[in-house]
Amino acid sequence: MKKILINIAVFVMVIAVIIILLLSFGTDEGAKYVYKNNTAYKIVELKPKEYQCSECNMDVADLEYAVQLITKNGNTYFFDDIGCVVLWLKNNSPKIVKLMTKTLDTHRWIDAKKAWYSRTDNTPMGYGFAAYEHKEEGMIPYEEMKLLMLQGKNLHDPFVKKQLLSK
């Protein structure tokens, strides 16, 4: 009798462990970096801190600087700073369908490659590059921003910072 009771208890516990694991597998707790199955390639409506930046792991909290990268397989990656996008693309080469950034002047999502970038904004990661839809003095195009970011010539460099902020 005692043995039967032990067997039943073990059986119940094993089932409980399996159920907990299956329930957890079914949640999206672990998938906060990527929004999947976006095969319509539409901009994902974001809430602050809903997703994490794929490069620096920080919450995408300030949506004014947010960037979305949508790949051909429907994965949407989120970034808190355009500088993070450049760094992430240095090590990853997905088939990009859309690279969209929020702009500071019009507050719209536009193609990041068509945006203009200031160099001295207070961005979440402090690189200084913030996207604008309309060009103003001192702003640079995407490719130049990318080059400067890869060369480390952003506000993280004390020399560049001093040079830019003293203007």
Partner 1 sequence: MNEILLSNEVIVYLLSEAVLYMLLFIAFLVTLGLVRKWNFDAFTSEQFMWENRSYLVVTIISFAMLLKLLLLPYFVYTVDNLSDLIPGAMCGAGVIKANEYGNPLLALKIIVLFLSGLWLSMNSLDLKAKNYPYLKAKSWFFIVVFVFLSVEFTLDILYFTHIETSNPVTCCSVIFGVSGGANDLPFGLNIPRLLILFYLLFALLVLTVNASMPLVSIGASLLFAIVAYYAVVYFFGTYIYELPTHQCPFCMLQNHYNYVGYFVWGSLLLGIFFVLDSAVMQLFFKRSSKKLKRVSLLFLTLFVVLCSFYVGLYYLENGVLL
Decide if 148 contacts 117 (C-beta within 8 A): no
Residue 51 to residues 1, 6, 72, 81: CA-CA distances in angstroms? 53, 45, 20, 13
Q: Give the pairing of strands 116-118 and 67-71.
A: unpaired
Q: Which is nearer to partner 1, 16 or 165 (CB)?
A: 16
- What is the side-by-side strand order in the sheet with 96-102? 34-35, 76-79, 67-71, 96-102, 109-111
Q: Does 165 bind partner 1 (CB under 8 A)?
A: no
Q: Does 13 bind partner 1 (CB under 8 A)?
A: yes
Q: Does 158 bind partner 1 (CB under 8 A)?
A: no
Q: Specify the stretch interacting with partner 1 by CB under 8 A; choose among 19-27, 71-79, 118-126, 159-167.
A: 19-27
**Minimum CB separation from partner 1 for residue 100, in Å?**
22
Binding site for partner 1 (CB under 8 A): 3, 6-7, 9-10, 13-14, 16-17, 20-21, 23-33, 49, 52-53, 56-59
